[in-house]
Amino acid sequence: MKYRDKVKTAKRIVIKVGTSTLTYENGNLNLKRIEKIAQTISDLVNNDKEVILVTSGAVGVGKNKLNYSEKPKTPQEKQACASVGQVILMNIYSKLFGEYGYSVGQILLTKDVLENEKRKLNVINTFETLLKNKIIPIVNENDSVSIEEIENISRFGDNDNLASVVSVIVGADLLVILSDIDGFYDKNPKINFDAKLISEVLEITKELESFAGGSSTDLGTGGMQTKIQAGKIATNNGCDMILANGENPSIILDILDGKNIGTLFVSK
Ligand code: GLU
């Protein structure tokens, strides 16, 4: 079976959407896109797929609500932004998924939770129960408690990593990462006109890793390096990963039709 054909058969899918997809450059919510995300995921669930959404955007959205003119610098400010922004995000997801007849459940994670076998099992049970009841689990890092200074709490730091770990613990077939770039390139396409998109990655080699540059946006934390890290975690654990542009989120339906979109990191 061709690799893209296998993608068509994916049943359990984790979709990660970054801050740059969810918000305008000024930090306000891009409602048209969020609406499309809710519609697309609802359609997948209508078609008997199991979908988990990993969302960023809490810090970015909260920053605007708190009228900070720039990215919060101190952990305290960041945590306050996350706390406010997370509610705004969930409120809008709840409303938009509700229009298609679906309820959402919030799961906020920190790394230490998944490092503890018992708590990890609790989280897995929650995912399973939500999915069984056709409720859309919406995941983010618990940013308002996850600064490193707090004892016993360790951070994922970025949602690419978080999404790949979630994919592994729930045994997902496919992780789709939507970003502000069409896929993984052999050079940074923003500064190199001859950069070529790599359609399929069978192995994450040192050379491939060297193609990854810095962070993609000001408000998000991810960049190509975190995508590569996520790709390693996913593919080493039997989960395919696709990196694609979230400009038009219905692209997810084309991806699941097996179309040659974005970069497919093929699982081992
Ligand atoms: N958890 C952060 C937020 O919701 C985003 C982290 C990331 O963009 O990777 O703002």
Distances (CA, A) of 46 to 4, 130, 135: 22, 15, 12
Beta bridge partners of 158: none
Query: What spacing in Å lies between the alpha carbon of 59 and ligand 1's midpoint?
Result: 7
Q: Are strands 197-198 and 184-185 parallel, antiparallel or unpaired?
A: antiparallel
> For the segment 236-266, what is each residue's pLDDT rounded down to a tens digit?
999 999 999 999 999 999 999 999 999 999 9
Mean pLDDT of the chain: 91
Residues 30-85: tens digit of each pLDDT: 999 999 999 999 999 999 999 999 999 999 999 999 999 888 888 889 899 999 99
- Taking alpha carbons only, the member of 22, 13, 24, 108 closest to residue 57 is 22
CA atoms within 13 A on the CB side of 75: 11
Pocket of ligand 1 (CB under 6 A): 18-19, 56-60, 140-141, 143, 158-159, 220-222
8 Å CB contact between 146 and 110: yes
Relative orientation angle of helices 31-46 and 75-99, to the nearest 10 degrees = 50
CA distance 69 to 138: 28
Of 106, 212, 222, 229, nearest to 165 (Cα)? 229
Can you tell me which atom of ligand 1 is nearest the CA of 161? Answer: 9
What whole-number distance in Å separates Cα of residue 110 and Cα of residue 155? 6
Range of the domain at 112: 2-265
Task: Give me the CATH number covering residue 97.
Answer: 3.40.1160.10
What's the N-to-C CA distance of the chain in angstroms? 14
Please give the number of the atom of ligand 1 that sits closest to the Cα of 226: 9
- Identify the pLDDT of residue 29: 95
From 65, 71, 159, the mutation candidate for ligand 1 (largest count of ligand atoms within 8 A of CB) is 159
Calpha distance 77→84 (Å, rounded):
11
pLDDT, one tens digit per residue, over 120-152 is: 999 999 999 999 999 999 999 999 887 665 555
Q: Can you tell me which residue has the tokens 């998000």? A: 220
Q: What is the pTM of this model?
A: 0.94
- How far, in Å, CA of 103 to CA of 38, rounded? 11
Q: Which atom of ligand 1 is nearest to the CA of 19?
A: 8
What pLDDT does residue 172 have? 98
Per-residue pLDDT reduced to its tens digit, 201-217? 999 999 998 888 654 44
Q: What is the pLDDT of residues 5-35, one digit of tens each?
A: 999 999 999 999 999 999 998 889 999 999 9
Q: Using the mean position of ligand 1's atoms as its centre, give its distance from the Cα of residue 141 in Å.
A: 7
Ligand 1 pocket test, candidate residues 17, 59, 71, most atoms within 8 A of CB: 59
- Among 68, 54, 51, 52, residue whose Cα is nearest residue 18: 54
Domain count across the chain: 1
